Amino acid sequence: MLAAEAVAKRLTAKPGKLGELKTIYETVRDEMEANEPGALKMECYFTDDAGELIVHDVFANGDALGFHLGVTAARHFPKLAEIAVPGPFFFCGDVPDELRQAAEGMNMGAVFGTHAFGFAR
């Protein structure tokens, strides 16, 4: 099953803040798993040497993405902005216009792409 929406994002921890960034995203993962049935997948990758976090989220549809951005992400974004530099964020799929506008307004280097091809097992 291919999801309608996916987001890949990179956050670069400020000096000495990578551990705190990891902890926040562990909390985000737990909240998404418990409270967001439309969140189908969430994976985090860390580059210890560069202090970066790369996150890949997959959502069932635009409503699920909107819920995530408006509730879970909104709750954590102020603290993340204190300890990390966000961006770029890559939104993939049929992102509703209101979500595009909100993402663009957050100045996190939002890039949007529509699905071209692929496969899922």
CATH number, position 69? 3.30.70.100
Q: What digits encode the pLDDT tens for the residues 24-40?
A: 999 999 999 999 999 99
Strands 5-13, 39-47: parallel, antiparallel or unpaired by DSSP? unpaired
pLDDT at residue 28 in the model:
96
pTM for this entry: 0.85
Mind giving me the DSSP string for 93-113? E---HHHHHHHHHTTS-EEEE
pLDDT at residue 42 in the model:
95
For residue 121, being part of any structural domain is answered with: no
- What CA–CA distance (Å, rounded) separates 25 from 37? 18
- What CA–CA distance (Å, rounded) separates 88 from 19? 21
For residue 17, being part of any structural domain is answered with: yes
For residue 80, being part of any structural domain is answered with: yes
Q: How many domains does the chain have?
A: 1
For residue 95, being part of any structural domain is answered with: yes
Determine the residue type at 105. G
User: Of 7, 17, 19, 29, nearest to 76 (Cα)?
Assistant: 29
Q: What digits encode the pLDDT tens for the residues 40-90?
A: 999 999 987 889 999 999 999 989 998 998 899 989 989 999 999 988 889
